[in-house]
């Protein structure tokens, strides 16, 4: 297969041998070649006789040849094809007859009709220009691939038929911008993707069908996002493509075959080539959940995950000792493994052993956090400006652990930011106290931006994220992990709901403020002598919006946990710590969003949607998340630079990258050599 000007052409492996013509008498006697050569001569004789009958306009002979190929019962189709092939003024009737033969699915009939294009060189590659049944952009090879007819597609590819590969829907080159104004452009793009996503094209026209399917799936996702008119069709093509990939990997009957498929490094970024199964990384980037959740893939990944612990789960005593080695004895074993350069304590080479060790170290980290918060400032120590009661060793351990493990994902970066902020406030508080010498002062005399107050905010948020990160480890558990993933998937719906809620609340806030703002501060004495004072709930737009938001939940409003600091100053005015108030309300708001909006919505979804489709999707999500966790690598500056370079590569130069670009580059030289030899 080669590509010239964006076209994919299948290159035959060798020139066909010369065919000796045989007479009908020799054919009857059985003389001449035998086997495949004899069958080839019979086909050649039929094609020559059919072509001679068409040129001589012998309608009866043409009809007999077509009907003998189709069958005696297909009289109407034989008459239609006969009438079309006898019109030799232009190639259009013959092209329409060829398209009809492809739709019927008879390769012998296609071979007969395609022999009529000798007088019209190059016309057999194009579509019908004036047909009411076939659009002009639909070529014979496209139609054969859309019908998923392997025999006809192979025959056309051997005759150097090609498909003009489309630009993606997000391409804004000059050619695409000019063609986008035509109504048929979107239909032509859809038909082309429908043809190249068929099994016939992937198997016959692509050197690596699985890699081509992965890259094509990415293009289909982009097209579904950009082209909203045919979004459902593109998604259906995407689902069919994932089913094709699943059938491909299911053809592997032995685990060695699966490992060979997953070990291919074509299309993998250089930084991912060190993985045992680099092809899985490509599947993750292309969101091929169905492929990842295949039984063969999961079995191969499980064997890789266990490593030397192949018998894990068979002996309880042995498993318990392994857990003790990588949990309680981890402080002794890990330094020996590091100092010896991996020569000692070889059990760390197994991914599952490293997972248990990481989980054990994280549990120790959470215990340190609990110790710190149990010794938090309160009661008599509430007025201490210096942060010393938590223990420098404990806080240093927590901060160092976070700094060394928080470069894997965006959540961990936020995690590191909070701990780094608390460390910075800790250092600044120590510096300020060493400068002014005031280590004990009542909080009513503190400014609202005091570093000690900000430290409490940062460290409190870091503790919340630290315990949330436990869900990162439970994703490997099939049922618990799928529930956690489904909750996270509700985040997008949560944002849409909150946006709608803000718009509605803002509209009501404007109306209520207009009606009640004039009564701000008003008082009235009732008949019983009680004084009714107008509250400031609707005194301004922001205050009204704030109260409407908390009224949505119906409880735990900000007035229920108002901060009472005290009075200070010459005028004995109340002191307000603004940052603490804001941080408290934001924390409670996030808690309400997570519990009331996300979790309740997820609970309702799980109670209502009990169909097998949802359960299958949860299995795919769990499989994908487990593979991501098991293949997660330490992110360094090298990987960050690789990500930046990948973004640069996918810029304007590669906007029009297509599925078969790799095949085109590798076969271009072969095509040039063949042309030069001819």
pLDDT in tens, 618-663: 555 555 555 555 555 444 444 545 555 565 555 544 444 544 454 5
User: For residue 416, which of 436, 431, 398, 432 has the smallest C-alpha distance?
Assistant: 398
**What's the token pair of residue 170?**
């997000």
Residue 617 binned pLDDT confidence (cut-offs 50, 70, 90)? low
Secondary structure (3-state) at 548: helix
Beta-bridge partner residues of 525 = 531
User: For residue 581, which of 593, 594, 565 has the smallest C-alpha distance?
Assistant: 565
φ/ψ (deg, to 5) at 523? -130, 155
Query: Quick check: 58 pLDDT over 70?
Result: yes
Q: What share of the chain is helix, strand, coil (3-state, %, to 5)?
A: 65, 5, 30
Give me the DSSP letters along 373-394.
HHT-S-GGGGGB-S--TT-HHH
Which is higher by pLDDT, 576 or 34?
A: 576
- Do residues 630 and 351 make contact, with C-beta atoms less than 8 angstroms apart? yes
Please report the pLDDT score of residue 268 as a whole number.
Answer: 79
Task: Give the lowest-confidence range in 180-184, 188-192, 298-302, 568-572.
Answer: 568-572
Q: Which residues contact 456 (CB under 8 A, 6 or more apart)?
A: 377, 580
Give the mean pLDDT of 99-127. 89
Give me the DSSP letters along 227-238.
-STTHHHHHHHH
- Do residues 560 and 525 make contact, with C-beta atoms less than 8 angstroms apart? no
Give the mean pLDDT of 421-440. 83
Q: Which residues contact 566 (CB under 8 A, 6 or more apart)?
A: 442, 443, 444, 574, 575
Query: Quick check: 326 pLDDT over 80?
Result: yes
Please report the pLDDT score of residue 374 as a whole number.
Answer: 66
Query: Quick check: 416 pLDDT over 50?
Result: yes
Residue 664 binned pLDDT confidence (cut-offs 50, 70, 90)? low
Q: How far apart are CA 6 and CA 4, in angstroms?
A: 6
Angle at 264 between CA 261 and CA 269, to 5 degrees: 140
Which is higher by pLDDT, 664 or 604?
A: 604
Torsion of CA 442, 448, 454, 455, to 10 degrees: -10
Residue entry with tokens 């330094």: 335
Which is higher by pLDDT, 70 or 493?
A: 70
Query: Quick check: 524 pLDDT over 50?
Result: yes
Give the mean pLDDT of 307-330. 84
Angle at 103 between CA 201 and CA 147, to 5 degrees: 30
Please report the pLDDT score of residue 22 as a whole number.
Answer: 44
Which is higher by pLDDT, 289 or 14?
A: 289
Query: Quick check: 427 pLDDT over 90?
Result: no
Q: What is the DSSP letter of 46?
A: H
φ/ψ (deg, to 5) at 8? -100, 125
Q: What is the DSSP letter of 599?
A: I
Please report the pLDDT score of residue 43 as a whole number.
Answer: 77
Give the mean pLDDT of 353-373. 79
Q: What is the DSSP letter of 19?
A: -
Please report the pLDDT score of residue 477 as a whole number.
Answer: 62
Residue 7, H or E segment? strand 7-9
Domain boundaries, the chain: 1-161, 166-307+638-659, 350-472, 491-632
Q: How far apart are CA 426 and CA 428, in angstroms?
A: 6
Query: Quick check: 510 pLDDT over 70?
Result: yes
Residues 126-184 pLDDT 10s: 888 888 889 888 999 999 999 999 999 999 999 999 898 888 878 888 888 887 777 78
Task: Give the lowest-confidence range in 164-178, 403-417, 441-455, 567-581.
Answer: 403-417
Which is higher by pLDDT, 618 or 545?
A: 545
Percent of the chain whose predicted confidence (pLDDT) is above 90: 6
- Do residues 190 and 234 make contact, with C-beta atoms less than 8 angstroms apart? yes
Give the mean pLDDT of 59-78. 85
Indicate if the alpha-carbon torsion angle 217, 220, 221, 222 is positive or negative.
positive
Query: Quick check: 301 pLDDT over 50?
Result: yes
């Amino acid at each position: 297969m080669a590509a010239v000007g964006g076209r994919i052409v299948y290159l035959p492996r060798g020139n066909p041998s010369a065919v000796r013509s045989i007479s009908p008498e020799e054919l009857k006697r059985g003389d001449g070649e035998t086997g495949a050569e004899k069958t080839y001569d019979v086909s050649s004789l039929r094609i020559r006789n059919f072509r001679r009958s068409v040129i001589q306009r012998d309608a009866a002979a043409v009809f007999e040849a077509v009907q003998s190929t189709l069958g005696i019962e297909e009289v109407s189709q034989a008459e239609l094809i006969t009438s079309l092939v006898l019109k030799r003024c232009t190639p259009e009737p013959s092209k329409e007859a060829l398209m009809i033969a492809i739709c019927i699915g008879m390769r012998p009939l296609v071979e007969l009709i395609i022999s009529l294009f000798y007088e019209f060189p190059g016309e057999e590659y194009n579509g019908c220009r004036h047909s009411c049944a076939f659009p002009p952009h639909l070529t014979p090879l496209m139609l054969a691939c859309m019908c998923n007819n392997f025999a006809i597609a192979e025959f056309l590819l051997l005759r150097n038929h090609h498909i003009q590969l489309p630009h993606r829907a997000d391409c804004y080159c000059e050619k695409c911008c000019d063609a986008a104004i035509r109504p048929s452009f979107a239909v032509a793009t859809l038909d082309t993707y429908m043809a190249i996503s068929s099994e016939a094209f992937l198997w016959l026209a692509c050197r690596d069908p699985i890699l081509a399917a992965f890259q094509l799936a990415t293009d289909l996702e982009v097209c579904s996002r950009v082209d909203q008119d045919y979004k459902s069709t593109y998604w259906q093509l995407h689902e069919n493509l994932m089913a094709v990939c699943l059938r491909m990997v299911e053809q592997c009957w032995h685990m060695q075959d699966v490992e060979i498929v997953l070990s291919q490094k074509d299309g993998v970024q250089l930084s991912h080539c060190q993985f045992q199964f680099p092809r899985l990384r490509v599947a993750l980037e292309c969101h091929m959940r169905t492929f990842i959740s295949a039984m063969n893939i999961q079995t191969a990944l499980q064997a890789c995950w266990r490593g030397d612990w192949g018998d894990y789960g068979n002996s309880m005593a042995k498993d318990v000792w392994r857990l003790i080695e990588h949990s309680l004895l981890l402080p002794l074993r890990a330094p020996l493994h590091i100092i010896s350069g991996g020569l000692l304590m070889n059990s760390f080479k197994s991914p599952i052993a490293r997972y248990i060790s990481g989980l054990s170290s994280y549990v120790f980290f959470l215990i340190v956090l609990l110790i710190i918060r149990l010794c938090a400032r309160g009661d008599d120590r509430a007025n201490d400006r210096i942060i010393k009661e938590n223990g420098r060793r404990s806080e240093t351990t927590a901060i160092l652990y976070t700094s060394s493990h928080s470069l894997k994902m965006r959540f961990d970066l936020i995690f590191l930011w909070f701990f780094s902020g608390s460390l910075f406030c800790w250092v600044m508080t120590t510096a300020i106290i060493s400068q002014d010498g005031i280590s004990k002062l009542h909080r009513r005399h503190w400014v609202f931006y005091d570093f000690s107050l900000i430290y409490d905010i940062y460290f409190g948020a870091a503790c919340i994220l630290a315990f949330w990160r436990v869900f990162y480890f439970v994703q490997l558990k099939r049922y618990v992990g799928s529930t956690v993933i489904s909750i996270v998937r509700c985040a997008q719906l949560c944002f849409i709901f909150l946006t709608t809620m803000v718009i509605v609340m803002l509209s009501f806030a404007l109306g209520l403020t207009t009606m009640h703002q004039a009564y701000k501060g008003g008082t009235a004495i009732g008949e019983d002598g009680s004084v009714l004072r107008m509250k400031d709930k609707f005194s301004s737009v922001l205050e009204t919006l704030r109260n409407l938001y908390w009224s949505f939940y119906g409880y735990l409003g900000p007035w229920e946990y108002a901060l009472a600091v005290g009075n200070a100053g010459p005028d004995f005015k109340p002191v307000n710590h603004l940052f603490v108030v804001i941080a408290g309300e934001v924390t409670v708001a996030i808690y309400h969003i997570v519990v009331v909006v996300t979790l309740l919505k997820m609970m309702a979804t799980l109670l209502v949607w009990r169909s097998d489709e949802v359960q299958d999707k949860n299995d795919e999500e769990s499989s994908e998340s487990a593979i991501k966790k098991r293949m997660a690598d330490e992110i360094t500056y090298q990987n960050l630079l690789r990500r930046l370079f990948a973004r640069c590569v996918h810029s304007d130069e590669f906007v029009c990258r297509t599925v078969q670009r790799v095949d085109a580059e590798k076969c271009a030289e072969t095509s040039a050599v063949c042309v030069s030899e001819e």
